[in-house]
Structure 1
C-alpha cells in the first residue's frame, strides 16, 4: 500500500529576540508612561495590578519592529492570505496601524485569564521576569505534581487541532526570556498564570495591530 502524510495548515506565531536598542527604547516609553499614568486596565481582562497606555514616539517601534515582522509573518505563515484567518476582508486602501500599546504590571498571585485580542496581529514582550519556572516548581504546593502540569508563572497559547481538541504551547518563563517577544494572530488565545514567592512585578509590554480605512 502507498501511504502519504497530510498535515493540515495551522497559523504560526513568531518568537523574536529584540535588539538591545529596542529594549532600551521600550524602557524609556515605560518610564514616560508611568508619568503620564493613562490607565488601560479597564479595557483589558487581566486580573493584575496595573496596565498603562504607552505612546510609540515617532512610530519607532511600529517602523523598526512591527513592519518587518508583518512582512516576515505573511511570507512564512502557512495560511497567510486566508481572509478568514487573517481578517483581510477590507476596503481598498485600508492601512495597518499599531492602534494599542500598553505595559502590564503583574504581581504574585495575579493572572491574565485565557483571552484573545482585537485586530489582526498582536504581540507580547517580556521586559522583567522576577522568578524562574524551575524555582516555582519547587514550591511546597507543587510537590508530587508532574512537571508538565505545573504552570506557575507560565505564558501559554491555546489552539484547536484538526479533531477539535484543545492543545497548548507553553513558555516556562525565567529572566532568560527578558527582551523576547511573541508575535501572533490576534485571535490566538493565550493566558498568563500566577507566580509566587517574589514581591517584584512581572513587567510586559503588549499591543495590537489593526486595519483602519484611510
Structure 2
C-alpha cells in the first residue's frame, strides 16, 4: 500500500488511496440504501453524529467484511504505527464506519471522534464547490475539510485544509478537532466515508 505521512502540525496524519473497486462498491451500497426505506431507518446515524447534513448512515458489518474495509484501514494503521514508533500493531477494531451525503449549504461543525483513530475519504465530489461572495478572495474553503490542532505556534500552523478528491483517504488521531465547510451553487452530492477505531494500548500514543 502506498502511504504518505503528513505532518502539518503536532500529530501526524496519513493519506492513502481507496481502491477504485472499493469506491464503486460503496457507491452501489449507498445508492441501494437510498431506495430502501427500511434500511435507511435501520442504519440512520444522523442523530448520533455532529453533522448538519442530508443523510448519515452506518455501513453494516457484513458489507464491511465483504469489501475488506477493516483490512484496508487496519493495514494502513499498522504501517503508520510502524513508521512512527517502530511498533507492530497488536489489535485493530472498527467501532463503526459511516457514510455522509452532503449537499449545498450543509456542514459539519467542529468536533472530535471516539476511539483512537479516525478517518475520512471521498466517494463523490461536486465538479465545483461554488465561489466566494467576495470575488477577489484568494482562499476558497467551500466544501473543504479542516483539521485543527490547538493554536498557531512558531513554524507550526493550527489548521490543515484538505480539498476533497475522489479516492483520497486521510487517517488521523480521533482527538483531532475537525470541521467541514458548506459548499454553494450546485445540486451535486459530496459523499464521504468515515470510521472510528480502537487500537492496542501499546501503540495508542501515535
**What does residue range 57-68 of structure 1 map to in structure 2 within 5 Å?**
57=63, 59=65, 60-63=68-71, 65-68=72-75
- 8 Å Cα contact 1:108-1:199 kept in structure 2: yes
Aligned equivalent of 2:105, options 106, 109, 116: 109
- 1:80 Cα deviation from its structure 2 partner: 7.7
- Compared with structure 1, are the counterparts of its residues 194 and 75 closer, same or farther at alpha carbon in structure 2 (3 Å cutoff)? same
Unaligned runs of 5+ in 2: 1-8, 201-206
The answer on 1:71 being equivalent to 2:68 is no
Take 1:75 and 1:125, find their aligned partners in 2: how far apart are those partners?
22
Unaligned runs of 5+ in 1: 1-8, 82-87, 89-93
C-alpha deviations, 1:56-112, integer Å up to 9, x for none?
A: 42621102x1121111110123x687xxxxxx9xxxxx9531121111111101100
State TM-score, norm by structure 2. Answer: 0.77
Aligned equivalent of 1:187, options 175, 181, 184: 175
- 8 Å Cα contact 1:33-1:54 kept in structure 2: no
- 8 Å Cα contact 2:128-2:186 kept in structure 1: no
The answer on 1:142 being equivalent to 2:145 is no
- 8 Å Cα contact 2:14-2:170 kept in structure 1: yes
- Compared with structure 1, are the counterparts of its residues 101 and 142 closer, same or farther at alpha carbon in structure 2 (3 Å cutoff)? same
- Compared with structure 1, are the counterparts of its residues 23 and 180 closer, same or farther at alpha carbon in structure 2 (3 Å cutoff)? same
Aligned equivalent of 1:170, options 161, 164, 174: 161
Coordinate RMSD, CA, aligned: 2.8
C-alpha deviations, 1:110-140, integer Å up to 9, x for none?
A: 100111100011111111111335xx34x5x
- 1:143 Cα deviation from its structure 2 partner: 1.9
- 8 Å Cα contact 1:121-1:183 kept in structure 2: yes
Q: Could you say which residue in structure 2 is the equivalent of 1:131?
A: 127
- 1:206 Cα deviation from its structure 2 partner: 0.8
- 8 Å Cα contact 1:33-1:52 kept in structure 2: no
Q: Could you say which residue in structure 1 is the equivalent of 2:51?
A: 46
- 8 Å Cα contact 2:152-2:158 kept in structure 1: no
State TM-score, norm by structure 1. Answer: 0.75
Q: Which has the larger radius of gyration?
A: 1
